[in-house]
């Protein structure tokens, strides 16, 4: 089964040193069970200074494990678990467990 979190979802970090931070999922790496969240787990790398980057430092968001993030309920704004149900048209829809509302339209 795939991950219940998709690109563009708003998530909150529930464990680790970044606990409590919120951000949007930029990238999902299902093979490694990881996600990249904007503004969370920001790292700095040193590189040889170049014409474009005079100081030789660049920052990026490193992936974090999907078990350390939780989807934010679109109605209440609180962290919630994710379930599935089938719509009348037969397509699979994600559902917020806390409010029971659909996440995907």
Digit-coded pLDDT (tens) for 29-72: 999 999 999 999 999 999 999 898 889 899 999 999 999 999 99
Sign of CA dihedral 9, 1, 14, 86: positive
Nearest Cα residue to 16 out of 44, 46, 37, 47: 37
Residue 105 predicted with pLDDT over 70: no
Kindly list the distances between the CA atom of residue 18 and the CA atoms of 22, 29, 32, 93, in Å, as whole numbers in the listed order: 9, 19, 20, 30
- What architecture is the 1-72 domain classified under in CATH? Roll (2.30)
pTM tops 0.75, yes or no: yes
Task: State both tokens at 98.
Answer: 């806390």
């Amino acid at each position: 089964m795939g991950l219940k979190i998709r690109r563009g979802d708003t998530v909150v970090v529930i464990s680790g040193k970044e606990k409590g931070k919120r951000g949007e999922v930029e990238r999902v790496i299902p093979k490694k069970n990881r996600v990249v969240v904007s503004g969370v787990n920001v790292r700095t790398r040193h590189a040889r200074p170049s014409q474009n980057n005079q100081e030789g430092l660049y920052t990026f968001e490193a992936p974090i494990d999907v078990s350390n993030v939780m989807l934010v309920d679109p109605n209440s704004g609180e962290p919630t678990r994710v379930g599935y149900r089938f719509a009348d048209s037969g397509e699979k829809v994600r559902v917020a467990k806390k409010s029971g509302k659909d996440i995907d339209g």
